[in-house]
Amino acid sequence: MAKAKRILKWQRDPAGMRQRILEAAKQEFAAHGLAGARVDRIAANADANKRMLYYHVGNKEDLYLEVLEGAYEKIRAEERTLDLEHLDPPEAIACLIDFTWNYFLRNPEFLALLNTENLARAKHLKRSTKVKSMHSPFVEMIRTVVTRGVESGDFHVAVDPVQLYISIAGLCFFYLSNSATLSVIFGRDLLKKDARDERLSHMVALVLAALTGKSTASFGKVKMPALLSAGHQVV
């Protein structure tokens, strides 16, 4: 009887079952990588069974790719809410840095998935038919901000938007992905709130100095965009 009820529940809410499988899989792949992930654990944590899992998403590698695509979809969707086109160019760049930094802090599983896929030399991402198309509008959004900044005189150079984003993401990613070792090496807790705040201010000053040609000291008191109401801050 219990088994029959469970199957009926799955049949009544296939979208919910699929979402639970993807969420459980995201946590499993983030914690154990692709090689160490176990389908049994994913199914159990999703309150499913292997048959349901294979029915909804296919084999383990198919599931991993779908999780990876979903991770990119999530960050790109949240970036689209930043409304950068209506901010002054320097504030727009500060907003993008603030968002990227806090997104990485709030979603450590995203960083773990990136590490896993880079170790695989993007073997699975190359199979994706979705990821490249997600990034084109995002690159154009940054390009528009940079172009406006040059036209307004705020920025002295029209940098490649892809290079700019890689630099921003790299400044955030390296610090967080290596925080354990760096904390030991330099004898400070790099994940304490004051250390995180200091890092964010440093990154904003560094990037804006590169774009404007001004000293980093000019941005020591830069006003950060009000992202708290959008749920972007980490306490």
Tell me the CATH architecture of domain 2-58: Orthogonal Bundle (1.10)
For residues 107 and 161, what is the distance between their CA atoms, to the nearest angstrom? Answer: 24
For residues 58 and 54, what is the distance between their CA atoms, to the nearest angstrom? Answer: 4
Q: Count Cβ atoms within 10 A of the Cβ of residue 232 and give its class: 0-12 exposed, 13-18 middle, 19 or more buried.
A: buried
For residues 191 and 92, what is the distance between their CA atoms, to the nearest angstrom? Answer: 25
Locus of tokens 């969707």? 77
**Token pair belonging to 122:** 């993007």
- From the list 19, 3, 9, 199, the residue with the least C-alpha distance to 105 is 199
Half-sphere exposure in the Cβ direction for 210 (13 Å, CA): 15
For residues 80 and 201, what is the distance between their CA atoms, to the nearest angstrom? Answer: 23
pTM of the complete model: 0.87
Q: Where in the chain is the domain with CATH 1.10.357.10?
A: 81-230
Question: Can you give the pLDDT of all 235 residues of the chain as single tens digits?
Answer: 455 555 545 455 778 888 999 999 999 999 999 999 999 999 999 998 888 888 888 899 999 999 999 999 999 999 989 989 889 999 999 999 999 999 999 999 999 999 999 999 999 999 999 998 888 899 999 999 999 999 999 999 899 999 999 999 999 999 999 999 999 999 999 999 999 999 999 999 999 999 999 988 888 655 555 443 344 555 4
For residues 194 and 207, what is the distance between their CA atoms, to the nearest angstrom? Answer: 20
Q: Count Cβ atoms within 10 A of the Cβ of residue 32 and give its class: 0-12 exposed, 13-18 middle, 19 or more buried.
A: middle
Tell me the CATH architecture of domain 81-230: Orthogonal Bundle (1.10)
Q: Are 115 and 31 in contact (CB under 8 A)?
A: no
For residues 12 and 8, what is the distance between their CA atoms, to the nearest angstrom? Answer: 6
Q: Where in the chain is the domain with CATH 1.10.10?
A: 2-58
State which H helix or E strand residue 9 sits in. Answer: helix 2-12
Q: Are 111 and 177 in contact (CB under 8 A)?
A: yes
Q: Are 66 and 113 in contact (CB under 8 A)?
A: no
**Token pair belonging to 78:** 């949240």
pLDDT at 53: 87
Q: Are 222 and 229 in contact (CB under 8 A)?
A: no
